[in-house]
Amino acid sequence: MPLAPGLPKDAVFAALADARGGDADWRRGRTFSLVYFAGDESLEVIRHAYAAYIHENGLSLDAFPSLRRFERDVIRDACALFGGAATGSMTSGGTESVLMAMKAARDWARVHRPGATTPTVIVPVSAHPAFDKAAHTLGVSLVKVPLGADLRADVAAMAAAIDADTILLVGTAFTFPHGVVDDIPAIATLAAARGLLCHVDACLGGFVLAFAAEAGHEAVDFDFRVPGVTSLSCDLHKYGYAAKGASLVLYRDRALRLHQFFATVDWPGGLYGSPTMAGTRPGGAIAAAWAIQRYLGHDGYVRLTRLVLDTAAALRAGIAAIPGLRLLGDPRHSVLAFTGEGLDVFAVDERMRKLGWHLDRLQTPSGVQMIVSPAHAGVVDEFLRDLGVVTAEVKEGGLAAEADGAIYGALATLPDRGLVRELVLGWIDGTDDVG
């Protein structure tokens, strides 16, 4: 079958504009994850840089020394910002950064922990699914430990789980589900005492926590200033406000990063080496990450962090004051989650969706999660008003979720997790169905 005939470019542009009518409205602060919009000028900066480097390929930094320079600048600045890493790599996102840290740990252990015949990594259950994906891909096992009552990692449970196969302990700063920071000093101290590696997943929180104190909010110890932390992941395309496709994985020691790399030397196509998973790498993502950091500078990040943390604090206070809602854990930064007390929180969520608010759902316990970004500063009052009205309706009417919220709630509590997994795989299979 031949492809359809080509169209004039204006027709293609019109079709693009037309296509996005049903997409999430991130400009007006209606979505709470997926997009980190720092305003029109920041958007102009990353758009310009991305477009300027649309064809450049980060696979060959010899061919594009400007990309080498951008990447070095971004990594060097992050190494210093996070308290003294030796080096690192840029990747396409948090998932790849975590995969690379896990690969480095696995290959490090082959040399330094030969007794670990079936290597395992200990993670709190709140760790991002990127760890499950990496473990599955790398042939490493995850040992999952429950959370404490505060929804942070239970470090005593992590200690009890260590055995001869353990290679790496993981903590998150801050967690995706509940926005709380694991006790990184305790986890890193434990790892160091047992001769293990310690990875901090700061994919979400890194660029908030690094500026929190200067923004007048609570500082926590989470980075390379903590002895025993050996690697750290931090997404540029979240609170770094870069274009999509940019993250960092950083290492305390160069020697550990070497285990991340890959080389094959017998290919007829020539000697081949690559630092991360990707082969061809979009120059635009590298250039945009560099450009936004030059544009915002330290002061710009402090200003945005203050805006985001003030907004999150206002949302937390407002939600805590709504009868029938309760915050999960004690989040202090820019992610928060709440559940219902004597009411169906998914019924609340469903009604908020009807009003155009797109929140994220949590399970065990059921809840609703929000990732606060600069675009939300202007919608706090409107959001809290809508949430208050909807919660009162659900509470007084004893209403239950009826549509997708009800299905989500049922799947979250279905004991047969294998069946739920099959359903999720089938759903992915159907979303891009072409025939």
Ligand X SMILES: *Cc1c(COP(=O)(O)O)cnc(C)c1O
**Given 36, 82, 176, 241, the residue binding ligand X (CB under 6 A):** 176
Q: Which of residues 89-108 bind ligand X (CB under 6 A)?
A: 93-95, 98
**Given 56, 235, 344, 350, the residue binding ligand X (CB under 6 A):** 235
Which residue type does 8 have?
P
Q: If binding means CB under 6 A, how many residues of this protein chain bind ligand X?
A: 13
Residue whose CB is less far from ligand X, 85 or 322: 85
- Write a three-state SS string for 173-241: CCCCCCCCCCCHHHHHHHHHHCCCEEEEECCCCHHHHHHHCCCCCCCCCCCCCCCCCCEEEEECCCCCC
Residue with tokens 């025939």: 435
Site string for ligand X, 243-262 (x = CB under 6 A): ----x---------------
Q: Residue 341's closest CA among 403, 382, 411, 391? A: 391
**Given 42, 89, 172, 230, the residue binding ligand X (CB under 6 A):** 172
228 is an interface residue for ligand X by CB under 6 A: no
Report the alpha-carbon distance of residue 261 to residue 100 in Å, rounded. Answer: 9
Minimum distance of ligand X from residue 21's CB (angstroms): 25
Minimum distance of ligand X from residue 87's CB (angstroms): 21
Report the alpha-carbon distance of residue 13 to residue 47 in Å, rounded. Answer: 17
Residue whose CB is less far from ligand X, 180 or 394: 180
Count of Cβ atoms closer than 10 Å to residue 401 Cβ: 21
Minimum distance of ligand X from residue 111's CB (angstroms): 27
Minimum distance of ligand X from residue 199's CB (angstroms): 11
Indicate the burial class of 144 (C-beta count within 10 angstroms; 0-12, 13-18, 19 or more).
Answer: middle
Residue whose CB is less far from ligand X, 130 or 226: 130
Residue whose CB is less far from ligand X, 64 or 222: 222
Site string for ligand X, 115-154 (x = CB under 6 A): -------------x-x------------------------
Contact region with ligand X (CB under 6 A), list: 199-207, 261-269, 293-301, 313-321: 199-207
Q: Which of residues 200-219 bind ligand X (CB under 6 A)?
A: 201, 203-204
Report the alpha-carbon distance of residue 123 to residue 161 in Å, rounded. Answer: 10
Pairing state of beta strands 231-235 and 247-251?
A: antiparallel
Minimum distance of ligand X from residue 129's CB (angstroms): 8
Which residues are CB-neighbours of 164 under 8 A, at least 6 positions away?
Answer: 115, 116
Report the alpha-carbon distance of residue 402 to residue 391 in Å, rounded. Answer: 15
Minimum distance of ligand X from residue 390's CB (angstroms): 27
Residue of closest CB approach to ligand X: 94
Return phi, psi of residue 360, to 5°.
-105, 150
Nearest 10 degrees: Cα torsion 78, 83, 85, 91? -30
Whether residue 115 contacts residue 286, with contact meaning beta carbons closer than 8 Å, is answered with no
- For 386, the token pair is 């809508």
Element containing residue 251 per DSSP (H, E): strand 247-251
Minimum distance of ligand X from residue 203's CB (angstroms): 4
Minimum distance of ligand X from residue 35's CB (angstroms): 12
Minimum distance of ligand X from residue 85's CB (angstroms): 18
Contact region with ligand X (CB under 6 A), list: 196-204, 260-268, 342-350, 398-406: 196-204
Distance of CA 279 to the CA centre of its chain: 22
Minimum distance of ligand X from residue 147's CB (angstroms): 14
Would you tell me which residues interact with ligand X (CB under 6 A)?
93-95, 98, 128, 130, 172, 176, 201, 203-204, 235, 247
